[in-house]
Amino acid sequence: MGSRGQKRPEMVDELPADKRACSSFDFRPSSSTASVQNDINSTHSEVEPHDNDMDTSSSASASSRSEGEPEKDSAYGSCDSDDMEQYHSSLHEYHRRRLSSDHGKFKTIISSLSGQTEPSGQLAVLTELCEVLSFCTEGSLSSMTSDLLSPLLVKLAKHESNPDIMLFSIRAITYICDLYPRSAGFLVRHDAVSALCQRLLTIEYQDVAEQCLQALEKISREQPLACLQAGAIMAVLNYIDFFSTSIQRVALSTVVNICKKLPSESPTPFMEAVPILCNLLLYEDRQLVENVATCLIKIVDRVSPSSEMLDELCKHGVIQQVTHLLSINGRASLSQLIYNGLIGMLVKLSSGSVVAFRTLYELNISSILREILSAFDLSHGVSTSQLVGGHCNRVYEVLKLLNELLPGLDKDQSNQLAMDKESFLANHPDLLQKLGMDVFPMLIQVFNSGASLYVCHGCLFIMYKFVCLTKSDMLVELLRNANISSFLAGVFTRKDHHMLLLALQIAEIILQNFSDIFLKLFIKEGVFFAIEALLKPERSSQLVYPVFSGIQMSLDSGQRSASREVLKCLCYTFSSAQSPTSPEARKCKLDKDSVHNLAEHIKAKYLAPELYDSEKGLTDILKNLRALSNDLLSMSTDEGALAVHEEKINKVLDQIMDKLIGKEEVSTFEFIESGVAKALVNYLSLGHYTGENKKVHGVCGHNAVIEKRFEALATVCLRTFQPLSGDTPLSVLIRNLLSALTSLEAFPIILSNVQKVRNSFATVPNGCCIPYPCLRVRFVKGEKETYLSDCSEDFFTVDPFSSLHSIERYMWPKVSKKNEEHASLPSSQVVLQPESPPLQLPSNTSSCLDEIQAVNLNAGESSSSGIQVAEEEMHFVAEPNSKLEKEHLSSCSNKAARKLIFYLEGQPLDHKFTLYQAILRQVIKQNDSGIGAKLWSHVHTLTYKTDLKHEDIMPSDCHSSSQDFSHDKVLAFYQHKPFLSGMFHCELVSDLEKSSPTYDILFLLKSLEGMNRFIFHLMSRERICAFAEGKVDNLDSLKITVPTAQLNEFVSSKLTEKLEQQMRDSLAVCTGSMPLWCNQLMASCPFLFSFEARCKYFKLTAFGQPRLPPHISYHNSETVSDRRLGHGVSPRKKFLVYRDRILESATQMMKLHASHKVVLEVEYDEEVGTGLGPTLEFYTLVCQELQKSGSGMWREDASSHTLKTSLQAEETGIYSLYGLFPRPWLSTQDASGGIQFSEVTKKFVLLGQVVAKALQDGRVLDLHFSKAFYKLILGKELYVYDIQSLDPELGKVLHEFQALVNRKFFLESVYEGNSELEQGLSFRDSRIEDLCLDFTLPGYPDIVLASGSDHTMVNMRNLEDYVSLIVDATVKSGISRQVEAFKSGFNQVFPIEHLQIFYEEELDRILCGENDSWAQINELSDHIKFDHGYTASSPPIVNLLEIIREFDHGQRRAFLQFVTGTPRLPPGGLASLNPKLTIVRKHCSNQADSDLPSVMTCANYLKLPPYSSKEKMKEKLLYAITEGQGSFHLS
């Protein structure tokens, strides 16, 4: 076989992207052009950079340049209107002449081709034709010209003696189809497809064959049926292995085009291609595999009515290849649509083919389905109608497949297919058992995680079928392991009659077959109580556990009329015959009384009458727990009880914990009904926490008692370990509380249900265009209202995000009868008055204003006023928790009294909410399920009345004043505990009823989480008290180690999934209209949500909704590990920096751009590199500069030592084992050791700006802050115990000193102030005076803590003052100015309060990446891509991986810095590095051993020469990573 033209593509590739020869493909991006060809070009230019490329990706630089400098003036940007008219006129004239010229050329060419017989002449004319077509416009080619050219070109394409004529004639055919798609019809008529197929079936010349594939791809777009009939599928697939990947993609595009239009008859032409397509599924190229998958999906769709055809497909190995592709590895590489389509294909195959049914079982499909369900993502942001149809929903497709894998319950003897399936399962019970073991627990997990109504019903239906089909002992074990009784009890709290009926049917089958086993469990889990509540709802009022409260038909007429989407009934969940919009699909098959009748039947047949007795029907464990809870409750109300009944209370606590961790597990029903949660809450709050008032008043006066109770609870919770699992009682208690929360909570998910986000004009309050829909509101004067006038307008369009304050300001001049005084004011004064924000301001508003800002910025600098407005608006939302709250607090005076009260349906609206939130709160209370769609179309009527009371606009919280609490001097130093300071005064969720048991659960979880975080403080205090009271005499006993529960133990999976679903609703996020519980729970109980969910919430609230292109799903681009993709669409700004003046450059950069939401990219002076790599290196250099020794910023204790930086050996930085912490400076101190404090504060301001900007842009910083400094960033207060985390020796000594102080106070109180007792107090056998300590700060002799005769040397009398002064100087006032400087810099970028949903360790991970970047050192090859000459088994690659494993910590950091620009990896480690680390073979001109490796940091791209030995590679690599840093040049 010849290989003519093989050099052609290589020659093209060797040229830079901007120097390549132009072709028609490059000149017509807007036509139907060869998108495939564009893909080929981009592949060559981006994925195959050569050694003469810049050190940073040229394509990335170009793209960032075009995106990042929108404000630069264009060279062609200034023309007046006359010039433009003249320009357009001349352009029109040019096009007219051009078209005329083209037509003339075509006539000449047609004439020449018709008369030309000499091959050389024909080749010359064809060359000219290709050149003309390359530069033609779409109007140049007419229908007549195409018709005349087609037969001539088809004839020449068959010119077998001259390959060049064939090549150019086929190229001309390609160009014509691209330029004028309708010409494909003429070409088909003249037998072009057969001619092209012939060339492909007998390939003689590779370039001719490749051109044939390009031509067929164009023709197949317009004439797929003709291509099918001519055998094009087999022609393009026959020798597909001989072509490059890019050409293989073209071939598959042809097959896709044909398969999309398969005819309903004669399927044979495409069936013979199935074996080849199945083989192609094994290829590595993602685009190729997805095209193959699309073809197979379409083929299965076409042949699905025929069982014989489906069986034949299965015999070709379709099932085997597809299941392999669906495995855990395939999920990462396939798009969501294709992945779901493949599952849908298996649904059709198993539905119509016994062979497929059998094969899926034999291939262990259940394990794949289990993996899919375990990592499911419920709604993927699609609407409910799409969920019903099964599009884009993986879970729903899996449920449909499971439905097919379990044969129908109706025994139809005439259905041979169903009989065969049942027979197979009857003969192979082990396969059915495996399916159940894998899938059954996952179905329960999906159901319990807040899935949609249709998914939940599907899960129940599959479980019902499985229970019906399986009647072995295996089912008992499965149901027990899945805790089916607890699950069913939860299902009975639902209101939909379809689900209730399925749950009753499952319960009936279980009782029918295994009543002896499950009867007690049903009592224990509250199943019978729930069934009884179905029949007698009035009895449910006696229970705390949530039970049935009335059937709600899933589709009543009111809901249907309110919703834009016509939904089919749940009866048709798995019915493919009924369209969601058909009238039949909305008719429910169930009888209204079916639930009641079945419940009556179960009650009569299986339940003994005594079970209904309120006492006899309870289990022993519930009775015992309830009695213990009542005992604890009675003792909790007595403030002196702790002293009097301490032992008794501790005994009750012990007994409660023993029950919870005992051999018999406590069910969720028993735990809730026992009242343990309420008893513990009242115990911890001294009984002040009551059902009527959830805020504890006066508790702070009893801090000492409360702390003792927390100590007692902590001691009990950590006292013993559960022998089997090793769990502490605390972990068991947390699990019980989370289970109870899952059962009790009913926080709503409110989706906006707006099909398309559109711009609209909001009249109220500011009369401006907004990038989301308006609410329509009619304002009506209240009855008997004499001071106000009627509103004349029919209705107003109102910004849903506007607060009721701003609406009031807009309406007051219109409705007030005394508005003459307002008439003299300009209208703009009323409209542009600064809006007083609501207390619960959804900070995600910034995203909406970002949209406005983006529009203004894109307008260019010619509209300077527009940019100014945008910046002002941006500043308005930049600090929602600082500036706006100050404004709000300033308005909390009698002057700013409310003038109007608004009512919705008779209920007053709270002024602290936005209009959307206020309406939503009212609707949720009314339990209106159709609100989502109705909200935007309905005209809401608001009644306004005069506010005669002139109440302050702040809620009562605003008035709480600080109180002076008397306290025992012994406890003076420990009075205000961190977790107690805000615990009893915060409102957890304002939407919850005060009597709700959910509130008790949340409060107790918050208390336990606080106790868990500060358990070291509590237990240390307990040890100090024990020492003070003489119970222990040894100071070494103060040293303790306390086990703590992991943070993830507090996570509620159900609430996390609910929040995830809510965040996927982009409009709800944009307008700040997420339900209040989302923001309030995130603020008060962030531990309930997973770290990943909190990261998403943080990005949305702090930075706004990312503006992604429509074709990119938000979910796929916004993961925790993918820090860079999420910001890829933000505007970019390049900044020139100087290596010798890094800090000055950073200061100037932040001064100009800190407050602007642009992604900053760095360009070094006199260096060619730019983009991601240089930017990351810049942040690393800034961090190193700010960590330099001697800067006056950081503590340099014995634990710290100087460390040479990796880039400049002569400079040193501070490194502490315990992390960086600010150096103390007294408030009166302006200089120390030649360092000015003003310079220190400037550096802290810069540090704050850099940290915030790095978070905003998704950059990793090389910082090592101490845990204590992270606490300060998060707004937490530090205490004496925290000093141990940053200076263990100093902290330990202070701890012991404090114990001596407390011992002294205790002795004085007992012996009435006898000062001689001080003589008996010593510090490790030495008197305090003998230690010769003066009142200077240890390690800082220039810092004098106190002066005066009483504070010269430290003695027992002033030891307390000495300790408190050191603590104050070390972690309080001595560092407060530096911390404030850091925060002020940070707040210039975005409010630092947004970080408070994280913990210290998490903040370090977000900011600085993984602490152990190489945790996956043994899995390196899994996270690295090898390309262009290298594979994972290539000897140089094997050597490189061994070298990396042998590197020490410093060498690994240097290697990372060399390859990526930063010595740290992002969160998630190497696996989450984006772009993926790629290693390619470097082609060396001379010997490889003399060359050095080079990198492109923007692409994380290492070009490694094939060294002769491992030793030589290590030598060159170490030389490159140590000497090759510090500049970006051509490699």
User: Mind telling me the catalytic residues?
Assistant: 1498
Task: For residues 660 and 625, give the distance between their C-alpha atoms in angstroms, rounded to a whole number.
Answer: 9
DSSP β-ladder status, 1501-1504 and 1494-1496? antiparallel
Given a contact cutoff of 8 angstroms between Cβ atoms, the answer to whether 934 and 919 are in contact is no
Given a contact cutoff of 8 angstroms between Cβ atoms, the answer to whether 1298 and 1027 are in contact is no
State the amino acid at position 454 in one-letter form.
Answer: Y
Task: For residues 29 and 444, give the distance between their C-alpha atoms in angstroms, rounded to a whole number.
Answer: 50
Helix pair angle (1172-1186, 1449-1460), 10° resolution: 140
What tokens appear for 905 in the block? 């349906």
Handedness of CA 186, 190, 194, 196 (dihedral sign): negative
Task: For residues 659 and 673, give the distance between their C-alpha atoms in angstroms, rounded to a whole number.
Answer: 14
Q: How many CB atoms lie within 10 A of CB 449?
A: 20
Q: How many CB atoms lie within 10 A of CB 559?
A: 18
Report which of 553, 566, 486 is spatially closest to residue 735, judged by C-alpha positions.
Answer: 486
Please tell me the total number of residues recorded for the chain in this structure. Answer: 1531
DSSP 1188: B
Task: For residues 1217 and 1205, give the distance between their C-alpha atoms in angstroms, rounded to a whole number.
Answer: 16
Task: For residues 1222 and 1240, give the distance between their C-alpha atoms in angstroms, rounded to a whole number.
Answer: 10
DSSP string spanning 5-23? TTHHHHHHHHS-GGGSPP-
Q: Collapsing DSSP states into helix, strand and coil, what is residue 1337?
A: strand
Beta strand ranges found along 1001-1071 (DSSP E): none
What tokens appear for 598 in the block? 């079945």
Task: For residues 348 and 337, give the distance between their C-alpha atoms in angstroms, rounded to a whole number.
Answer: 16
Task: For residues 341 and 293, give the distance between their C-alpha atoms in angstroms, rounded to a whole number.
Answer: 8
Task: For residues 802 and 1072, give the distance between their C-alpha atoms in angstroms, rounded to a whole number.
Answer: 10
DSSP β-ladder status, 775-781 and 1340-1344? unpaired
The CA-based angle 179-180-183, given to 5 degrees, is 135
User: CB under 8 Å to 1173, separation ≥6 — which residues?
Assistant: 55, 56, 1460, 1461, 1495, 1496, 1497, 1498, 1528
DSSP 665: P
Given a contact cutoff of 8 angstroms between Cβ atoms, the answer to whether 348 and 304 are in contact is yes
Task: Give the residues across from 1204 on adjacent strands.
Answer: 1212
Phi first, then psi, for residue 213 (nearest 5°) are -65, -40
Task: For residues 1492 and 1488, give the distance between their C-alpha atoms in angstroms, rounded to a whole number.
Answer: 8
First to last CA, the chain: 39
DSSP β-ladder status, 907-908 and 939-946? unpaired
DSSP 1156: S
Q: How many CB atoms lie within 10 A of CB 282?
A: 11
Place of tokens 């961790």: 661
Report which of 490, 489, 558 is spatially closest to residue 927, judged by C-alpha positions.
Answer: 558
What tokens appear for 963 in the block? 């109180």
Task: For residues 1213 and 1234, give the distance between their C-alpha atoms in angstroms, rounded to a whole number.
Answer: 19
Report which of 1051, 1046, 1086, 1039 is spatially closest to residue 728, judged by C-alpha positions.
Answer: 1046
Q: Collapsing DSSP states into helix, strand and coil, what is residue 96?
A: helix
Helix pair angle (1053-1063, 1076-1084), 10° resolution: 130
